[in-house]
Amino acid sequence: MDATFSQLAMLGSSLMLIFGLILLWRRRVPAYINAFTGQSVALAGVAGATGYFGTESELYWVAAFVLLLKGLVIPSLLRRMGRRFGSERELDPYVNTATSLLLAGLLVLFGYAVMRPLVVTSRLPTRASMALAMGLILVSLFVIVTRKKALTQVVGFLMLENGIALLAILGTYGIPLIVELGVFLDALLGFLVMQIFVYRIHETFETIDVEQLSRLRH
């Protein structure tokens, strides 16, 4: 029983990390959005599995919310933005693709190293996957820092959120539903604000290249 759960959790987490890595080597916006959608579905799957094996009925609700919000609502909003700004591709990131992938690998390794004491002492069947969640968080941060287009950064932020949610689910079998709801609301609002900013940046600079923002400095 625990072995199955452990493997399922590992599978879901690995999928999520791979979806996260897609941001590093694809250049086209629709690919990013698809990756995010896939990642959210995988997150919902992990939440559902944890609910089933950990007998936490609240997690089913969480899984449903994830599917609805991150699998449907946000991707559709993202697609709308993608139709508008999709022509702007991530052509010259600060770090090129090969180096990015190498660094992402190092970050995942770092995640493993950081989570080591927890993995050793924990008795949870999900313990092995937690390092992957940490890796996802670090990789998402890396995306936000090195990519120039606002849209890429928004997707990076959403993936960071997913990583944190994954870590919470794996590490504690889900935080209380009310807190989880608050986090969802937070993520949604954060996303909406960012969306507005992306539009405003485009309005002001005729591009969504965040690098242009440094021109605001006088």
Partner 1 sequence: MAPELLLLSVAGYTAGALAALAFRGMVGRALVAAGALGGSLATLALGAWCLATGATLVFAAPWLPLTGFALRADSLSAFFLIVVGLAAAAASLYGFGYSAHYDGRYSLRLLGAMFNVLLLSLTVQVLADNALTFLVTWEVMSLSAYFLVLTEHDQAGTVRAANWYLGVTHAGFAALIAAFLVLAAGDMTGSFAAMRSVGLTPGTRNLVFLLALVGFGTKAGVIPLHVWLPMAHPVAPSHVSAVLSGVVIKMGVYGLMRVTLDLLGGGPAWWGGIVLGLGAVSALLGVLYALMEHDLKRLLAYHSVENMGIILLGVGAGLMFQSYGLPALATLGFIAGLYHTLNHACFKGLLFLGAGSVQYATKTRNMEDLGGLIKRMPRTAACFLVGAAAISALPPLNGFASEWLVFQTLMGGALVPRPEVAIGMPIAVAMLALSSGLAVACFVKAFGITFLALPRSTDAARAREVPASMQVGMLLLVGMCVALGVTPFLVVPALSRALAGLGRIPVTPIGFSLHLPFSVAGVTGEMSPLLLAVGLALLGVLTAIVLRLLADRRLRVGDTWGCGRIGQTPRMEYTATAFAEPLRRVFAELYRPTEDLSIDFHPKSKYFVRSIAYRSEVQPWFERLLYTPVLSALRGAAARVRQVQAGSLHLYLAYLTIALLVLLVVARWSR
Tokens 């698809």 belong to which residue? 34
Burial class (CB in 10 A: 0-12, 13-18, 19+), 83: exposed
Does residue 11 touch partner 1 according to CB under 8 A? no
Among 73, 113, 181, 185, contact with partner 1 (rule: CB under 8 A): 113
Q: CB of 70 within 8 A of CB of 38?
A: no
Residue 68 Cβ vs partner 1, minimum distance, rounded to whole Å: 29
- Which residue, 129 or 146, has its beta carbon nearer to partner 1? 146
Q: Which of 148, 149, 165, 174 binds partner 1 (CB under 8 A)?
A: 148
Q: Which two tokens stand for residue 53?
A: 């094996």
State the nearest-atom distance from the C-beta of 209 to partner 1, in Å.
Answer: 11
The contacts of residue 72 (CB under 8 Å, 6+ apart) are: none
Burial of 39 from C-beta contacts in 10 A (0-12 / 13-18 / 19+) = buried
Binding status of residue 92 toward partner 1 by CB under 8 A: no
Judged by CB under 8 A, the stretch of 25-33, 53-61, 112-120, 123-131 that binds partner 1 is 112-120
Minimum Å gap between C-beta 146 and partner 1 is 7
Q: Work out which of 21, 138, 151, 167 binds partner 1, going by CB under 8 A.
A: 138
User: Which tokens in the block code for residue 156?
Assistant: 């990076």
- Write out the two tokens for 198: 């992306």
Q: Which is nearer to partner 1, 47 or 133 (CB)?
A: 133
Residue with structure tokens 């089913």?
Answer: 60
192, 201 in Cβ contact below 8 A?
A: no
214 touches partner 1 by CB under 8 A: yes
Residues that bind partner 1 (CB under 8 A): 94, 110, 113-114, 116-117, 138, 141-142, 144-146, 148, 210-211, 213-214, 216-217
